[in-house]
Structure 1
Amino acid sequence: MPPHARCALASMLVWLAAGCAAGSDGIALRSWTVREGDAPAAPITLPTHLVGDAFARDGTHVLESDVVIPLEMRDRDLELVVPSLAAIVTLRADGISLGRADLAASYRSVAPQRWRIPRALVRDGSVHLALHVTRRWTQASWIDVVPRLRTMGTTDWSTSIVDATNRAGAACGAAATLQVGLTCLLVYFHDRRRRPYLWFGIQAFSASTYPSFVLGAFQWLGPIDVVVMELGLLSAVWASVHFTHAAFALGRPPRAFGVGVAISAIVVVLFSGPYVATQIAVPFVVALVATVTLYQLARGIGLLACSRDRGSALLLFLAWTALATTTWSDLCTWYALGEPLGGARPGVVGLAFFALFLSLLLSRSHVLALGDADRLNAELADRLALLETRQKEVEALNAELRHQVASRSEQLFSALSVVAKVRSTVVEPAPGDVLSDRYRLERILDEGGMGVVYEATRVSDGSQFAIKIALEAHGTAVARLAREAHLASRVRHPHVVEIVDVDVTRAGQLFLVLELAREGTLKQHRERYRTPALAIVVLAQIADGLAELHRLGIIHRDLKPANVLFFRHGDSPIAKLTDFGISRPALRRTQTSSERLRASSPPPRTSDIVELKERAAAEARIEETLDEPSAPDALTELGAVAGTPRYMAPELGRDASSFGTRSDVFGFGVMAYELLSGAGPWTEPPASLVARGIEPLPHIALAARVPSLDPRLIALIDACLSLDPASRPSAAQIGVALRSIERSLHAAPAPRVQRR
């Protein structure tokens, strides 16, 4: 058991005998006269409260008594004991001043007051005693314990019990409440979710004002320490109700308690004078403390009956039982009903036990919470293991799905190439149609000459996607869509749009299922990302996606703002590349059907060779249609030369088959130049000039249009726009450079704009 708890237990056992022991030792001096100023003396019988206007202000009154000394006490030194009188008192015996008993008190004594009376003053068989009482507050006129005259050298048990209770008990109560309160507040400020610790911390700190008052810790404030104690008790009872409701999840406390505390606090502040606080404000505080104590006892009994955590409910009930069984005497005293226990304040001991029981309650709750946390952690570990297993299964299924999508798209490409240039009438799907019994079309997002993009909902789970449908059933349009599915299924990257599914409608129309981009394209929101800080982030993401395509051997061939989609991830934009309809494998030729035939085993039949030759010829015709210009102005005719002239590299104007990773980098450079400057790098696309036999000039310097840009960024974009493909950086190098520029911009202040 903690030391303060043992001390509190000993004090509780001691004061239980205080009432029986009072008055059992020496002569009880009940008959006195009281004199205030020049007024005549009036007889009084103790215990009593001196009332009247004369005793409702600062001053001094004199208590006098003529005492007859018994024969057996005349030859010994005597002691006058006043067990409880909250005032500064000076004793005169037969006109001789014996001084103050409590020299440490500033306006009230907090301990029993004792004076030694020499035997020379009592040998004649009588002594005249005069107690000069200095009044600073109401209770200086309350004489609730009868003074006693006793023989020196014998043990004064009753007074020692009162002194031990009020001193040691109050010290234990103050130490316990302050220690527990501080600990609880530290726990709460470390973890704001632990609201019960906050309420108990406030309750304990506020309740410590009462044992501190009994100890006289606030006497330097003067009689205002009564007001401090009253407000502390009001705060404690208010916080105690909140603590109980928070600790046991009982919801919000009744508003009546808050109203009662507010009214009592107003009364305390309005009636804070030393001669009205005890008589007017204290009864409000006492009544509220008693009411809350009864409420908490009732709550404890109710929780014992129905709570699942009966151990915590029992500790709550014991805490308030300890407080109720010890504070009744204190409440009687403050309510001007006398001193039932001879001046002892057992309530301060009860507070120590109260703090002990409630700290045990919180400790128990903490231990239970740790047990629950361990159990939940074990369950979480099991679930994480299960999730990891499921994740591996999902990844395996995704890999298989991507393989199936790639395989299906390749098969579709091979089959559709046989029917190249063959047109058939198709019906354009409308919003509300359900494709393959799986995807319901919601609305049109975009449409062009070769297809339409719809927003769609998967019927099985409500997930939303974008669906791209070829509107014509001829070989070129459908082959491009099949090629897009085939190439996109090979890529899995955060900055490349992911393909989810590929299928054919009942009407024979090929469609792709893609991620749905709700934030539009770079072409639509170019102005939003014009600032260098945002532009660098977006361009770095595009470069990362392009680098992944190049790593997989795929050339995009149509890199432009309309093919950059934006997704939202929190507050940050996510850019993703899309539209692989005219993309091609890099640095290697697609294996034809006849080549696949020669590499296969066993040897094919003659009929199979004829069929595969026909397919190979059809496939070659499609490739020629996609890549070969048919006229000088073919650069602007979609379907003749692949790409958008404005973003095409100049070498493609000379030879459309000379595409490579560096031609994609050129398109990236044009797109970056436009994003940062708001204008194009050339007045006429270089590829168009080259196609007409005109050698293009270098681009308009980016530094001339936006001189405030970081020089490293300008140099990087200039390198991307080089007319010599070998001088252009790779997409991976671009991504690394942009990330480096982005980090330096965050680490250093923004450069100043130079004004001319």
Structure 2
Amino acid sequence: MARNIGSQYTTERVLGRGSAGTVWLGRGPDGPVAIKLLREDLAADPELVERFTHERRTLLGLEHPRIVGVRELVISEDGTDLALVMDLVRGADLRAHLTRHRRLAPADAVALVVDVADALAVAHRAGVVHRDVKPENILLDATGHAPRALLADFGVAQLIDEPRRGTTSRVVGTPDYIAPEIVEGLPSRAPVDIYALATVLYELLAGFTPFGGGHTGAVLRRHVTETAAPLPGLPDELWELLQQCLAKAPASRLRAAELASRLRELQPVLRGLPALDIESGEESDAPVRERAGAEESTEEAETPRGAVALVRGSVSDPDRVTHTRMRVPDAEELAGGANGTARLPRTPGQRRAGSARHGAAERRRRLAVTLGAALLAVALVVVGVLALA
């Protein structure tokens, strides 16, 4: 159903839907466009509208062949519409492409990631962090001989997800692609995009993400505590590059321009290599979200991990140290006690070690023992006196 957006644009049909709103095929003074119409609750948020207005020049100023350009920001007078008018890309997104092909040959995967890294380099120099790099936000221009990648929704996630006044920060984003520092509540800076893009590259090569699968909490924990499993058959140079960009420490990751340059250097080595032959153990197309209701213990014991094909992917980080040098509880703490962190199984009625009730019961026990010992001593003295008499 046609709908007027502002005074110059009209929507024609829905192209896709996301968590922030709906993307429409539209038409404007210069021809076809894509119009991202934000949800009504977002458009009705005056703080959000203010942020978009404040960042309007930055959003409109990001120009690069590998960036889906924003042509206009439209805010209706009655406050019902908040829309981004963007360039129209003739092609599917990377998620649809990956669904069809499951895995890409290393050279094809790297070529697409180079395009995205080039886009990120331009944005990061302008001080813009994407914060939601994932296959759904990577569009493929299919007009040429080989598909080229374009990154969409620059800065939108950051503007929408910034904490409102009087609220606390929260973990926002797609769990499979979230960097460890976001999980731990640190600011989202350029390295979070590099981590997410490396995760996308891993997924293009393997058919699954390195830390995905199961309950959201389990996925977030793996980002912080586990390392990605090596991919059999992948050239060592490419694997080392992936590891560096998946580092827990943001400062250890490459910058976007460095990543693009290093990947270009590897392209001659990768040319002609087939897609990796990885036995997943469960070549199922069923989305992970259908299994997300299962308990984490069941997921980790029986169901392999992954975002596309579920496989056993992650291994424990032997250092058990994150980028923030977060202290890991020792064995004594995990066993409980006054400073314990673990709530170990216990029988009904048994107090948890370290709890207030446990401490009170322990004090009462010590008092009873002390009083008992004192009474016994008095009794012994009395008995001795009587014996002498």
User: In the alignment, which residue of structure 2 is the partner of 1:437?
Assistant: 7
User: In the alignment, which residue of structure 2 is the partner of 1:510?
Assistant: 82
Write the letter of the residue equivalent to 2:184. Answer: R
1:466 has 2:37 as partner? no
Residue in structure 2 matching 1:674, options 198, 203, 215: 203
CA apart distance, 1:475: 3.4
The answer to whether the Cα contact below 8 Å between 1:457 and 1:465 also exists between their aligned partners in 2 is yes
Between the two proteins, what is the percent identity of the paired residues? 30
The answer to whether the Cα contact below 8 Å between 1:650 and 1:690 also exists between their aligned partners in 2 is no
CA apart distance, 1:456: 0.4
Residue in structure 1 matching 2:174, options 640, 644, 647: 644
CA apart distance, 1:693: 11
1:628 has 2:204 as partner? no
CA apart distance, 1:689: 5.5
The answer to whether the Cα contact below 8 Å between 2:106 and 2:273 also exists between their aligned partners in 1 is no
Alpha-carbon displacement from aligned partner over 1:158-189 (angstroms, at most 9, x marks no partner): xxxxxxxxxxxxxxxxxxxxxxxxxxxxxxxx
Residue in structure 1 matching 2:147, options 563, 573, 577: 573
The answer to whether the Cα contact below 8 Å between 2:180 and 2:224 also exists between their aligned partners in 1 is no
Query: Could you say what secondary structure the match of 1:674 adopts?
Result: helix
Counterparts in 2 of 1:498 and 1:752: CA distance versus 1, 3 Å: closer
Write the letter of the residue equivalent to 1:519. Answer: G
The answer to whether the Cα contact below 8 Å between 1:654 and 1:691 also exists between their aligned partners in 2 is no
Counterparts in 2 of 1:753 and 1:468: CA distance versus 1, 3 Å: closer
The answer to whether the Cα contact below 8 Å between 2:183 and 2:224 also exists between their aligned partners in 1 is no
User: In the alignment, which residue of structure 1 is the partner of 2:108?
Assistant: 534
The count of corresponding residues between Structure 1 and Structure 2 is 271
CA apart distance, 1:433: 2.0
The answer to whether the Cα contact below 8 Å between 1:649 and 1:687 also exists between their aligned partners in 2 is no
Write the letter of the residue equivalent to 1:524. Answer: A
Which structure 1 segments of 5+ residues have no match? 1-430, 585-619, 630-640
CA apart distance, 1:495: 1.0
Residue in structure 1 matching 2:246, options 711, 721, 725: 721
Residue in structure 2 matching 1:661, options 187, 190, 211: 190
Query: Could you say what secondary structure the match of 2:176 adopts?
Result: helix
* Larger RCO of the pair (alpha carbons < 8 Å, separation 6+): 2
Query: Could you say what secondary structure the match of 2:74 adopts?
Result: strand
User: In the alignment, which residue of structure 2 is the partner of 1:696?
Assistant: 225
Alpha-carbon displacement from aligned partner over 1:278-317 (angstroms, at most 9, x marks no partner): xxxxxxxxxxxxxxxxxxxxxxxxxxxxxxxxxxxxxxxx
Measured in 2, the distance between the counterparts of 1:482 and 1:440 equals 21
The answer to whether the Cα contact below 8 Å between 1:484 and 1:582 also exists between their aligned partners in 2 is no
The answer to whether the Cα contact below 8 Å between 1:498 and 1:514 also exists between their aligned partners in 2 is yes
User: In the alignment, which residue of structure 2 is the partner of 1:733?
Assistant: 258
The answer to whether the Cα contact below 8 Å between 1:445 and 1:454 also exists between their aligned partners in 2 is yes
Write the letter of the residue equivalent to 2:191. Answer: R
CA apart distance, 1:755: 11
The residue correspondences of 1:315-330 to structure 2 (distance < 5 A) are none
Counterparts in 2 of 1:729 and 1:457: CA distance versus 1, 3 Å: same
Bigger helix share: 1
Measured in 2, the distance between the counterparts of 1:642 and 1:667 equals 13
1:522 has 2:94 as partner? yes
Alpha-carbon displacement from aligned partner over 1:111-159 (angstroms, at most 9, x marks no partner): xxxxxxxxxxxxxxxxxxxxxxxxxxxxxxxxxxxxxxxxxxxxxxxxx
CA apart distance, 1:718: 1.6
Query: Could you say what secondary structure the match of 2:97 adopts?
Result: coil
CA apart distance, 1:486: 4.4
Write the letter of the residue equivalent to 1:516. Answer: L
Alpha-carbon displacement from aligned partner over 1:449-485 (angstroms, at most 9, x marks no partner): 5422111012x45x10011122231236545655674
Measured in 1, the distance between the counterparts of 2:275 and 2:96 equals 29
CA apart distance, 1:434: 2.5
CA apart distance, 1:622: 2.4
Query: Could you say what secondary structure the match of 2:197 adopts?
Result: helix
Measured in 1, the distance between the counterparts of 2:77 and 2:2 equals 16
Alpha-carbon displacement from aligned partner over 1:93-118 (angstroms, at most 9, x marks no partner): xxxxxxxxxxxxxxxxxxxxxxxxxx
Write the letter of the residue equivalent to 2:13. Answer: R
Measured in 2, the distance between the counterparts of 1:735 and 1:693 equals 27
Q: Runs (4+) of structure 1 moved beyond 3 Å? A: 475-487, 683-695, 743-746, 749-756
Measured in 1, the distance between the counterparts of 2:249 and 2:3 equals 50
The answer to whether the Cα contact below 8 Å between 1:466 and 1:514 also exists between their aligned partners in 2 is yes
Query: Could you say what secondary structure the match of 2:191 adopts?
Result: helix
User: In the alignment, which residue of structure 2 is the partner of 1:269?
Assistant: none
CA apart distance, 1:435: 2.5
The answer to whether the Cα contact below 8 Å between 2:205 and 2:275 also exists between their aligned partners in 1 is no
User: In the alignment, which residue of structure 1 is the partner of 2:120?
Assistant: 546
Alpha-carbon displacement from aligned partner over 1:660-714 (angstroms, at most 9, x marks no partner): 2222111111111011100121255999469779951211112x3xx1x332212
The answer to whether the Cα contact below 8 Å between 1:566 and 1:574 also exists between their aligned partners in 2 is yes
Which structure 2 segments of 5+ residues have no match? 280-389
The answer to whether the Cα contact below 8 Å between 1:454 and 1:468 also exists between their aligned partners in 2 is yes
Measured in 2, the distance between the counterparts of 1:752 and 1:436 equals 47
Counterparts in 2 of 1:659 and 1:685: CA distance versus 1, 3 Å: farther
Alpha-carbon displacement from aligned partner over 1:608-632 (angstroms, at most 9, x marks no partner): xxxxxxxxxxxx962665x702xxx
TM-score (norm 1): 0.33
CA apart distance, 1:550: 1.2
Query: Could you say what secondary structure the match of 1:675 adopts?
Result: helix
The answer to whether the Cα contact below 8 Å between 2:134 and 2:196 also exists between their aligned partners in 1 is yes
- Pair member with larger Rg: 1
Query: Could you say what secondary structure the match of 1:434 adopts?
Result: strand
Residue in structure 2 matching 1:560, options 128, 134, 152: 134
User: In the alignment, which residue of structure 1 is the partner of 2:349?
Assistant: none
The answer to whether the Cα contact below 8 Å between 1:564 and 1:575 also exists between their aligned partners in 2 is yes
1:712 has 2:237 as partner? yes
Measured in 2, the distance between the counterparts of 1:440 and 1:755 equals 47
Counterparts in 2 of 1:565 and 1:755: CA distance versus 1, 3 Å: closer
CA apart distance, 1:538: 0.4
Measured in 2, the distance between the counterparts of 1:494 and 1:751 equals 28
Counterparts in 2 of 1:517 and 1:480: CA distance versus 1, 3 Å: farther
Measured in 1, the distance between the counterparts of 2:122 and 2:223 equals 34
The answer to whether the Cα contact below 8 Å between 1:546 and 1:731 also exists between their aligned partners in 2 is yes
User: In the alignment, which residue of structure 2 is the partner of 1:488?
Assistant: 59
